[in-house]
Amino acid sequence: MDIIYLHNLQIETVVGIFEWERRVKQTVSFDLDMAADVHQAAASDNIRDTLDYKKVAKRVIEFVGHSEFHLVETLAERVAELVIQEFNVRWLRLRLNKQGAIRGARDVGVIIERARED
């Protein structure tokens, strides 16, 4: 299995359970590792034959930027569903970091792995 990855994608969004979190946008960071077969793209040297990570990034930025979830778990799940469905990804690992959410901890978040159901 080949993996196309997109790491440290930082997006401003509303996410959290506290009242103050519902009023301000916070920065969350995503790491996406996505299964892809790069053989055809490597042979053709054509972007149409691969998973276009720029398109993935733009779509995730648009979705997350307009979302207002309470839990990072829900946000992660919805982004995973979006990538799998809209970009025909067979499998992905998604890491969502809500940096600074806990005093004394630099990073906090969730890591999920999801696969397309055939």
Alpha carbon 39 to its chain's center: 24
Provide CB contacts within 8 A for 108, sequence distance 6+: 97, 98, 99, 101, 102
Whole-number pLDDT of residue 104: 82
CB distance 29 to 97 below 8 Å? yes
Whole-number pLDDT of residue 61: 98
Please give the backbone phi and psi of residue 40, each rounded to the nearest 5 degrees, phi first: -65, -40
Whole-number pLDDT of residue 102: 74
**Which of 3.30.1130.10, 3.40.50.1820, 3.50.50.60, 3.40.50.720 is the CATH number of 2-115?**
3.30.1130.10
Q: Exposed (0-12), middle (13-18) or buried (19+): which is 21, by Cβ within 10 Å? A: middle
Instruction: Using 50 as the pLDDT threshold, list the residues of the chain that sit under it.
Output: none
Which residue is catalytic, options 25, 55, 58, 98?
A: 98
Judge whether 98 counts as a catalytic residue: yes
Whole-number pLDDT of residue 117: 85
On the CB side of 84, CA atoms within 13 Å amount to 18
Indicate whether this model's pTM tops 0.85.
Answer: yes
**Torsion over CA: 95, 99, 101, 102 (sign):** positive
| Element housing 7 (H / E) | strand 2-15
